[in-house]
């Protein structure tokens, strides 16, 4: 599959006057990043798309519940076959980092820590 490349702000990347296209693991990584940085009900074309931020925000949320919520979101990508989240970390700025991996249907492994952080603070 091919997609337009987006920067971390969600803007299209243009180089030498042309839109940049991506495919393979880079395209899959970008798709997962979009899922994890979109709150459920945020995208009007598919209100079920994204991560349920209410399940990870606020005090007293159990790490296992957060990991399950992220796993469920990653499985929204139909090309993902397996998800293994080892750990999550939350820094002082309330940014969540995911440590683990996802395996696609072709057996390619994607390091989830490459997705960057989920900002929910």
Sign for the CA dihedral angle at 15, 18, 19, 24 comes to negative
- pLDDT in the model for residue 117: 63
Name the band, by pLDDT with cuts 50, 70 and 90, for residue 116. low
- pLDDT in the model for residue 121: 52
Q: With respect to CATH, is domain 2-119 assigned 1.10.3720.10?
A: no
pLDDT tens-place string over residues 21-73: 999 999 999 999 999 989 999 999 999 999 999 998 888 888 899 999 999 99
CA distance 46 to 56: 21
What is the bridge-based pairing of β-strands 95-104 and 80-90? antiparallel
* Residue from 58, 60, 56, 59 nearest 97 by CA: 56
Average pLDDT for 75-101: 90
How high is the mean pLDDT of the chain? 90
- pLDDT in the model for residue 92: 79
Residue 81 has pLDDT above 80, yes or no: yes
CA distance 102 to 37: 17
């Amino acid at each position: 599959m091919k997609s337009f490349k987006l920067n971390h702000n969600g803007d299209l990347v243009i180089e030498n006057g042309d839109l940049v296209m991506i495919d393979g693991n880079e395209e899959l990584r970008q798709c997962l990043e979009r899922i994890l940085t979109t709150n459920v009900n945020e995208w009007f074309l598919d209100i079920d798309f994204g991560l349920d931020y209410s399940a990870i925000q606020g005090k007293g949320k159990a790490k296992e519940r957060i990991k399950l919520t992220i796993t469920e979101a990653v499985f929204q990508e139909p090309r993902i076959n397996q998800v293994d989240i080892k750990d999550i970390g939350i820094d002082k700025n309330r940014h969540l980092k995911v440590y683990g991996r996802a395996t696609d249907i072709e057996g390619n492994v994607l390091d989830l820590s490459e997705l960057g952080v989920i900002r929910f603070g």
